[in-house]
Amino acid sequence: MKKNKINYSLTAKQRKEQRLDARNKEAEKAAKYEKKEVVSAGDMAQETQAAEVAAEKRIFGLKPSAFALVTVCVVLAVALILTAVLLPVLSPAFAYRKVNNPVAVIYLSNGETLEFEVYEKEVPIAATNFLYLAKNNYFNGSIIFDRQNNYIRFGGFYDTEYNHRETDEAFSAKFTDITKSPSAKYKFQYRLSADTSSWAKFGQTEGYLSFIQNSSSTEFQICTVSGSPLTATNGENTRTVNAISFARNLNKNVMEKLTELYAGMENTVSHGNYWKYPAPVVKIDRIKLYNMDKAKWKNFNFDEYFADKISGWTGGSIE
pLDDT given for residue 260 in this prediction = 93
Residue 71 to residue 167: CA distance in whole angstroms: 62
Question: Mean pLDDT across the stretch 80-104?
Answer: 74
pLDDT given for residue 52 in this prediction = 57
Percentage of the chain modeled with pLDDT above 90: 34
Residue type, 226: S
pLDDT given for residue 214 in this prediction = 77
Question: Mean pLDDT across the stretch 51-58?
Answer: 56
CATH number for the region 101-313 comes to 2.40.100.10
Q: How confident is the model at residue 91 (pLDDT cuts 50, 70, 90)?
A: low
**Helix extents (H) in 97-178:** 124-135, 169-172
Instruction: State if pTM tops 0.85.
Output: no
* For residue 248, pLDDT beyond 60: yes
pLDDT given for residue 305 in this prediction = 95
191 versus 28: the higher-pLDDT residue is 191
> Which three-class secondary structure state does DSSP give residue 287?
strand
Q: How confident is the model at residue 160 (pLDDT cuts 50, 70, 90)?
A: confident
**27-31, 131-135, 149-153, 273-277, range with the lowest pLDDT:** 273-277
**Segments making up each domain of the chain, as ranges:** 12-90, 101-313
Q: What is the pLDDT of residues 102-134, one digit of tens each?
A: 999 999 999 999 999 999 998 999 999 999 999
Q: How confident is the model at residue 36 (pLDDT cuts 50, 70, 90)?
A: low
Q: Which residues pair with 209 in a beta bridge?
A: 222, 247
Question: Mean pLDDT across the stretch 165-186?
Answer: 84
Q: Is residue 127 within 8 Å of residue 247, measured between CB atoms?
A: yes
pLDDT given for residue 217 in this prediction = 92
Q: How confident is the model at residue 55 (pLDDT cuts 50, 70, 90)?
A: low
Nearest to 262 by CA among 162, 146, 115, 155: 146
pLDDT given for residue 314 in this prediction = 83
pLDDT given for residue 177 in this prediction = 92
Question: Mean pLDDT across the stretch 232-260?
Answer: 82
pLDDT given for residue 212 in this prediction = 84
* For residue 35, pLDDT beyond 70: no
Nearest to 170 by CA among 131, 144, 145, 137: 137
pLDDT given for residue 5 in this prediction = 56
Count CA within 13 A, CB hemisphere, residue 40: 6
**121-130, 154-163, 308-317, range with the lowest pLDDT:** 308-317
* For residue 202, pLDDT beyond 90: no
Q: What is the pLDDT of residues 260-310, one digit of tens each?
A: 999 998 877 666 655 667 889 999 999 999 999 999 999 999 999 999 999
43 versus 165: the higher-pLDDT residue is 165
